[in-house]
């Protein structure tokens, strides 16, 4: 799949968390059906973007083996996905970044195309997926020009990603027809569910 949006967007795979609910395992490196979870994400995201950055704070050498630049949070103490997004904004060579988590191997093959459609409105700064029930904030496309806004937010001690979205021109994009795309792994049971879906 190739779209005209490739040259404008860098894909950012967020793998910088502690994964407390999975006993501290580095979720992107967990294997499902003999393949690291992040590889599934890379394979689907790659045709949609100009480049990929992996945001990781642990196992950096291992993540580098997937063939893309690995960037670590500039802020200390695992401050959440916004810290990784801020770092990505300064490293991307494109006008926009599109984020997705390392533990969501079922991401939509038209994720970038759908999110980018919101930017037909010149006022849009962020487009975020909505699964029909709730916002999916780590599946978002945003302008790198928001870096100053984001750093000010973080420096004020804020961490909630959806709250920062509301402070900017954010548009929710309907993905209610693809709810499975947002299944991620937080428990061993989730791992079994995803394994079955990837095998179908």
The topology under which CATH files domain 6-199 is: Spore Coat Polysaccharide Biosynthesis Protein SpsA; Chain A (3.90.550)
> Can you give the three-state secondary structure of 80-106, one letter per residue?
CHHHHHHHHHHHCCCCEEEEEECCCCC
Contacts (Cβ under 8 Å, ≥6 apart) of 145: 95, 125
Q: Tens digit of pLDDT for each residue in 25-64?
A: 788 999 988 999 999 999 999 999 999 999 999 999 999 9
Q: How buried is residue 111: exposed, middle or buried, by Cβ count under 10 Å (0-12/13-18/19+)? A: buried
pLDDT band (50, 70, 90) for residue 23: low
Within its chain, how far is the Cα of 91 from the centroid?
A: 15
DSSP letters for 100-146: EETT-TT--TTHHHHHHGGGGSTT--EEEEE-SSSEEEEEEEEEGGG
| Range in 7-11, 24-28, 122-126 the model is least confident about | 24-28
CB-CB contact of 132 with 178 (8 Å) = no
The number of CA neighbours under 13 Å toward the Cβ of 178 is: 17
pTM for the full model? 0.91
pLDDT surpassing 90 at residue 140 = yes
Cα–Cα distance, 64 to 55 (Å, whole number): 11
* Pairing verdict, β 126-130 and 135-143: antiparallel
Q: How much is the pLDDT for 26?
A: 86
């Amino acid at each position: 799949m190739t779209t005209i949006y490739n040259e404008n967007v860098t894909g950012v795979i967020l793998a910088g968390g502690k994964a407390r609910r999975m006993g501290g395992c580095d979720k992107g490196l967990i294997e499902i059906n003999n393949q690291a979870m992040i590889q599934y994400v890379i394979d689907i995201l790659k045709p949609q973007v100009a480049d990929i950055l992996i945001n990781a704070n642990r196992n950096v050498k291992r993540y580098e083996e997937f063939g893309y630049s690995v960037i670590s949070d500039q802020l200390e103490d695992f401050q959440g996905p916004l810290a990784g997004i801020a770092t990505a904004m300064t490293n991307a060579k494109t006008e926009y970044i599109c984020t997705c988590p390392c533990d969501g191997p079922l991401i939509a093959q038209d994720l970038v195309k759908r999110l980018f459609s919101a930017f037909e409105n010149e006022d849009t700064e962020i487009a975020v997926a909505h699964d029909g029930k709730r916002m999916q904030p780590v599946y978002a496309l945003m302008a790198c020009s928001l870096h100053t806004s984001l750093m000010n937010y973080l420096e004020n001690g804020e961490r909630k990603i959806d709250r920062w979205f509301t402070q900017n021109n954010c548009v929710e994009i309907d993905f209610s027809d693809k709810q499975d795309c947002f299944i991620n792994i937080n428990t061993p049971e989730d791992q079994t569910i995803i394994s079955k879906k990837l095998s179908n």
